[in-house]
Amino acid sequence: MALTLYLLLGVSLAGWILLEAGDLGASVFALFARDDGDRSACFAPALPLFDGGELWLALHAAVVAFGFPLYGRVLFAVFGVPIVLLAVLTVARLVCALVRENSFDEALCRRCDVARGLCALPVLFVAGWIPAALLRGLPVDYQGRVAGGLLAALHPYALLGGCCAVLFGLLCGTVALLPEAEEPFAARARKVQPVLWLLLLFSGAAFLGWTIALPPGDGAFGRLPVWAGIAMTVMGLSLVSTLSLQSSHVAAGICARVASLGLPVLFFSLLFPFLVPSTTGDGMDHITVDVAIAGGAALRNATIACGTVALLLAVGGIVVARLRRKGRL
C-alpha cells in the first residue's frame, strides 16, 4: 500500500514535469519577443487554456495531503510560502491564458503574455529548489518538526537545484519553441540553445556530483532505477540540442520528454525509502514512507482510488484536447 502511494506520488509529479517543463520555458521567451507573432509562437506549444499539467499537480498535492499527512505537514511548515506562491502563479498563468484567448485588445494580450512569462521563472525555480532541499535533508526532530523553518532549506545545494530546473525548463522551451517560431526570432532561439545546454551541462554535473556525496546517496546509487533515471536524463539532454539544431524537431521533442521523465525517476529512486531525510546525524528521525503514510486503511484506499480516476481523466483530457487542436473532434 505504501509503495503504491509512493509510486502515485512520483507518477503525478512526472506528469506535471512532462507537460509543463517545455511550456514554462517557452513562456519565458515571450519576454524577449518583439511582436505579437513571436509572442504567439512562445505559447503555441501549450494547448489552449488547459493542457492537463495543472491536474497532475493537483493530484500530487492530494496524494501528499491524504496519503502522507506527516510529510505534508513538514512540507507546508517549511515551504508553505513557496508552495502558496507556486499555486498563485499557476492560477495566474491560467487566468492570463483565459483573458488572452477571449480578448481582442492587443495591449491587454501583450500584458498577459508578459505576465505568463514572468510567472514561469519562479515556478521553474521552486520546482527544482524544493526537491533538491528534500533530497539533501532537513533538520527534523522526533516529533516531525523542522528546526530553522525556511532558512534550513536555503542551502547552496538546494539553490543549485533550483537554478538547474530553470535552465532545464528554458532548454525544453527552446525545443518546443523552434518548430513554431519564425525568423528572425527562431534564429535568436537557436543561438541561445547551445548556451543553455552548456550551462545546464556544467551545473547539472556539479549537482549530480554533490548528490553522490549526500548521505542518502551512499547506498542509493547501487539501485537500478537510479541509473535508469540518470541514463534517461543524460541521453535525452545529450541529443536534444543536436537534433533541434538539425531541425529534427520531433526527435528533439521526444528526447526532451525522455529527460523530463528521467528527473522524477532519479529523484524518487534516490529518496526512497525516505520522504524527508534528517540531517541531525542520528538517523532515527528520518521521515520514511512507512512513517508518513496515513493511519487509516480507508483513507489510503480512497486516495489510491481517487488518484487512479484522476490519472485516467488527465490522460483522457489530454488526448481529447490534442484531437480538438488538430481538428479531429
Whether 236 is in a domain gets the answer yes
Classify residue 7: in a domain, yes or no: yes
Domain span at residue 52?
Answer: 2-318
Total domains, the chain: 1
Give the other-Cβ count within 10 Å of 260's Cβ. 23
Of the pLDDT bands very low, low, confident and very high (cuts 50, 70, 90), residue 306 is low
| Integer Cα distance of 74 and 65 in angstroms | 11
The answer to the question of residue 328 being in a domain is no
Q: How far, in Å, CA of 43 to CA of 26, rounded?
A: 7
CATH of the domain at 7: 1.20.1630
Task: Give the distance from CA 234 to its chain's centroid.
Answer: 17
Q: What is residue 139's three-state secondary structure?
A: coil
Cα separation, 31 vs 39, in Å, equals: 8
How many CA atoms lie less than 13 Å away from 169 in the CB half-sphere?
Answer: 28
Question: Which pLDDT does position 222 carry in this prediction?
Answer: 62
Show the DSSP H helices in the chain as ranges: 2-28, 36-43, 53-62, 69-102, 106-136, 156-177, 185-212, 217-220, 224-245, 249-271, 289-292, 297-325
Tell me, yes or no, whether 22 lies in a domain: yes
pLDDT at 246: 72
Q: Is 281 left (phi over 0), alpha (psi -120 to 50) or beta?
A: left
Asked whether residue 59 is assigned to any structural domain, the reply reads yes
The overall average pLDDT reported for the chain is 78
Q: What is the pLDDT of residues 12-27, one digit of tens each?
A: 888 888 888 888 888 8
HSE-CB for 252 with a 13 A CA cutoff: 21
In a domain, 324, yes or no: no
Axis-axis angle for helices 156-177, 2-28 (nearest 10): 60
**Residues 90-102 pLDDT 10s:** 888 888 878 877 7
**pLDDT at position 125:** 94
pLDDT in tens, 209-248: 888 877 654 556 667 778 888 888 888 888 887 776 676 7
Q: Residue 60: left if φ>0, alpha if ψ -120 to 50, beta else—which one?
A: alpha
Residue 55 sits at the vertex; the CA angle it makes with 49 and 56, to the nearest 5 degrees, is: 125
Q: 181-202, pLDDT tens digit by residue?
A: 777 877 888 888 888 888 998 9
In this prediction, what percent of the chain has a pLDDT beyond 70? 79
Angle at which helices 2-28 and 249-271 cross, to 10° = 140
Local structure of residue 151 (DSSP, 8 states): G
75, 65, 80: which is closest to 293 by C-alpha?
65
216 by DSSP, 3-state: which?
Answer: coil
- 140 phi, psi to nearest 5 deg: -90, 135
